[in-house]
Structure formats: C-alpha cells, structure tokens
Structure 1
Amino acid sequence: MPLSGSRLGPGFVAFALLLAGCQQMERLSFIRPSAQPRGYTQVAPSYDVSGKKGRAESDPVLLLLSANDQLQRGQYAEAERLARQALKLRPDSGDAQTLLGAIASARGDAAAAGKAYRAAVQIAPGNGVYANNYGNWLCANGQAADALPWFERALADPTYPTPVAALVNAGTCAMRAGQPERAESNWRRALELDPQNLTALAGMAALEQERGNGLDARAFVERWLALSPEDPAGLRLAADIEQKLGDNAAASRYLSRLQAISSTSATPPRTQ
C-alpha cells in the first residue's frame, strides 16, 4: 500500500533528520550551492574595489559581488546595504532580490527572506533559479503543497543549470505534502541525472522501507552508504531494514558501526 502522509515510521524519521539541511537553494550566477552552513559558496574571485569607490557604488554588478563577499564574511548589515544599493540602481534585478533573500535567511528572518524570493519571481517568472528558491522557501515554511508548482516551473526553464536541485527539492516537499508517489517520481528522475545524489537515495530508501519493500530499501541504502559510509541516519535506517528482513547479523554490524562512530565523536581530544 502506498505510504500516506500520516503513516511515517521510524525509518522515515531518520531520513527526515538527514533532510533537515539538504534542500538546495540556488543563488546568483557567481554563487553556487555548497555544504557550508549558509548553503552557498563564492565561485568568482573577490573584486578589489579599493580606490574605485565611485565605480563600485554605481555599478550594480560590483555592488552585488561586494555584497556577496560581505555575506560570506558574516557582515550582514553591510551586505544588505550593498545589495539594496544595487537594487536602487536596478529595481528590476532579480539577483539583488535573491541576495537579499539569502542575507535575510542567514539572519534567521524567514519572513523577509520569503518576501525577497517572491519579489525575484515576480521580476522574472520564468527564471528557474528564482522559482526553485521561492518553492524551497514555501516548503520550509509550512506551505509544502503550494511549493510544488514552483519546482515544476524551475524545471520548465530550459536554461536552468541544475535541474537535479529542483527535482530533489520537489521530492522532499512532496513527502511533506503527503504525496509519496509524486516524491518517488521526482527522486527517481533526480537519480537518472545524478545516480549519486544522497538526498534522493535516502528518500527512496526510507520510502521503500515504509512501503514494506525491504529488498528495494536495502539496495538504495547500500548505495547511500557506499557514498557516505559513516552517515548516522543511513546506518540507523540500514539496521532497521536488516532487522525487518530478518538478518540480525547484518543489523548488528550496522549498529556496531554506528556505535563506533558515536564513541569516536563523543571522545574529547587529548591534551598534551
């Protein structure tokens, strides 16, 4: 029987913990997603605008580059000032609104972030990056069902550079909306493009486990752990899968690995 939104068991709980930080936000052309806490990484060189203040304060691109640099440094007030200056010069800049959303998100101001991401999609409704970001914000703020069309809009953009991000987000959000079949479709499409996508593998492992398809769940979790062998959520789910399949020896091996990792991480460093 397909999994319903109200019948999530222990396996899915482990998966949900993994997903807490895995939804992918797209930023600007000079920013890419990363595993860093704020979810993005500078990929263009920093611009030295010393001695060029006049140009820097009147060039929207330089302002956004400088604003992004300040955001990376944790200087949120200065980053916002620069981004708003860029927006003043270019009121139709979806990139400026996107950066303002990233700044607000880094500050923990979800409402301001949502307002900025919404403004970006209003400026450029067909832009896949902006659509993915707004959908991701909606999903993270209790509006999962409303978020799903935005991921579809992102995927409809032929210039969208990372469709896997939107597919993974759509799968995660579909589960939150109680639509497991839609989640499966999106995760499988993501894995066709990126067979090593951890979030999609984790999602499929947990989903198949909840459906009672232990062998399929095992196959997905083994692929997950082959890529991330010390992932606690993956080890817990693998142990649960093996227990339900009746292989207690395999379950014990996974639990032993999990215990070893927990013991290592809990041991304080020695001092000389």
Structure 2
Amino acid sequence: MGKAEMSVAPTYTAHDGEQVRRQHQYNNDVTLAGADLGAGNLDAAEKRARSALKLDSGRPDALLLLAAVAQRRGDNVQTGQLLQRATVLAPERGDVLNNYAAWLCQQGRAAESLPWFDRALVAPGYATPAIALSNAGACALDAGQRERAQRDLRASLASEPKNAQALTAMAQLSYDDGRFMEARAFSERRLAAAPSTLSVLQLASQIETRLGDAAAAARYQQRIRQEFPQDADPNSKG
C-alpha cells in the first residue's frame, strides 16, 4: 500500500503545480485588471479580466471587473448580465450579492433589490456589511419602505459612523419627515465625512431654510456657486 501511494504522488504533485500556476496567474490578472480599471484604462482592464476568466471561469472576480468596465462604458444591460452571472457562481459572497443588488436599485428596481441585500447581509464572512446596509437603506427609501430605510441606515451608521451614503439618506429621510433639527445634524455630519456634492449642499440649504436660518441657507447657496458653478441656479439668492 505504501509503494502504491508513492508511485502516484508525482502525478498529483505535477497536477497541483499546474493548478497553483494557473491560480497565481488568475490572481495576477485580476489584480492588474483592477489597477487598470482604477487608472481608467478600460481596454486593458477588459483584456486582463477576460484572460483571468479563461484561466478560471468558476470564480466571480473577473466577472465583477468586466461588469465594472461595462458600467463605465454606459452599457447597463451587459453590466447587469455580468453581475447576475457572478451571483450564480458565488451565491453566498456578500460583495457579489451587494453589487448586483446595487445595480438593480440603480436601474429603478429598488423593491427588487432588497431581497438581494438581505442575502448579502447574512452571507458568511462578509467583511463590509455597513456598505450593504447603507445601500439597502437608501434603496428602501427609494422603494417607499421608510421604516426599513431608517432601520438599515441607523445600523450602517452604528457600524460605520462616517458612511457618507447613510448620512445623506438619513438627512433626506429626516427632512422629509419634518424633523429638521435632526436633518441638520445628519447633514452636517455628512459634509464633515466626505467631499460635498451638489445634492448634499442643496439639501443642506433647504434644511436651513425650513429652520428659518436664512444666513446659513445663503452660505450653502454660495458654496454651490463656488464649487459647482456649472450647476448653480442663477436665480438663487445669497
């Protein structure tokens, strides 16, 4: 028995070596494709991601990269198809499920996205649940599920107090509910947590208007003119 085991060992060693080589090459292609994507080199990113996919079609990472390339190119249909394929390959990977759910929400399918976020949140070993929670909360708000939105957004902020998306959504939710002091607090936290956007500054100005602080509202309008001159309302005051 011992001799039989020894006689086949070299075969397994050779096989394992080839598998390891392909695994290293796959990881290398995925890493370089991600770097190309980050640098805006979409053609190079696509080429490397497709190379990785040929090496191992059973893992979702290359598909996620190809989906990101397609999204950058404005091809929403292909983006969705690639993300859905990734969920088939990795039905219990939180980041994969979150990405597909986020895409559904971006396509105006907010209610449909929520069960996918739920699956992401219970996925074993999911390292960034605050992201899925903030996405789920914002999408629940879009779907008109205000109780769920508040639950998920507050849970996200409990885990990650400077989550910009959750702070923005909570500011909007509080504003819509007429809780303007609370909306101001979330708005100020949002502006301190990340660079401003036009919509965030507009909401901040609206909040101050409802609170009766015309000077503060005017200051936000001034920031809009300075930071987003191409989008500023020429009829705005302040």
TM tier relative to shorter chain: 0.7 to 0.9
Quickly say closer, same or farther: Cα 1:256–1:110, change in 2 above 3 A. closer
What corresponds to 1:88 in structure 2?
Answer: 54
Instruction: Please say if 1:184 is aligned against 2:150.
Output: yes
> Alignment partner for residue 76 of structure 2, among 85, 110, 116?
110
Structure with higher RCO (Cα < 8 A, 6+ apart): 1
Letter matched to residue 147 of structure 1: S
What corresponds to 1:42 in structure 2?
Answer: none
What is the Cα deviation at residue 159 of structure 1?
Answer: 1.1
Quickly say closer, same or farther: Cα 1:171–1:230, change in 2 above 3 A. closer
Deviation by residue 1:221-251 (Cα, 9 ceiling, x = unmatched): 2222333585543333222222222333433
Instruction: Please say if 1:235 is aligned against 2:201.
Output: yes
Letter matched to residue 203 of structure 1: A
Cα-Cα RMSD: 2.8
What corresponds to 1:149 in structure 2?
Answer: 115
Q: Is the 8 A contact 1:57 1:63 kept in 2?
A: no
> Alignment partner for residue 254 of structure 1, among 220, 226, 229?
220
What is the Cα deviation at residue 169 of structure 1?
Answer: 0.9
Whole-angstrom CA distance in 1 between matches of 2:222 and 2:171: 20
Quickly say closer, same or farther: Cα 1:92–1:191, change in 2 above 3 A. same
> Alignment partner for residue 220 of structure 1, among 162, 186, 199?
186
What is the Cα deviation at residue 125 of structure 1?
Answer: 0.6
> What TM-score, normalized by structure 2, do the two folds share?
0.77
> What TM-score, normalized by structure 1, do the two folds share?
0.68
Quickly say closer, same or farther: Cα 1:66–1:56, change in 2 above 3 A. farther
Q: How does 1:194-205 map to 2 (within 5 A)?
A: 194-205=160-171
What corresponds to 1:245 in structure 2?
Answer: 211
Q: How does 1:62-77 map to 2 (within 5 A)?
A: 62-77=28-43
SS of residue matched to 2:88: helix
Q: Is the 8 A contact 2:92 2:124 kept in 1?
A: no
Q: Rg bigger for which structure? A: 2
> Alignment partner for residue 127 of structure 1, among 93, 99, 102?
93
Whole-angstrom CA distance in 2 between matches of 1:64 and 1:265: 38
Q: Is the 8 A contact 1:209 1:241 kept in 2?
A: yes
Structure with a larger share of its residues in helix: 2
Quickly say closer, same or farther: Cα 1:190–1:57, change in 2 above 3 A. closer
Gapped runs of 5+ residues in structure 2?
1-20, 233-238
Q: Percent identity?
A: 44
SS of residue matched to 2:91: coil
Q: Is the 8 A contact 2:93 2:124 kept in 1?
A: no
Count of residue pairs brought into register by the alignment: 212
Whole-angstrom CA distance in 2 between matches of 1:222 and 1:261: 17
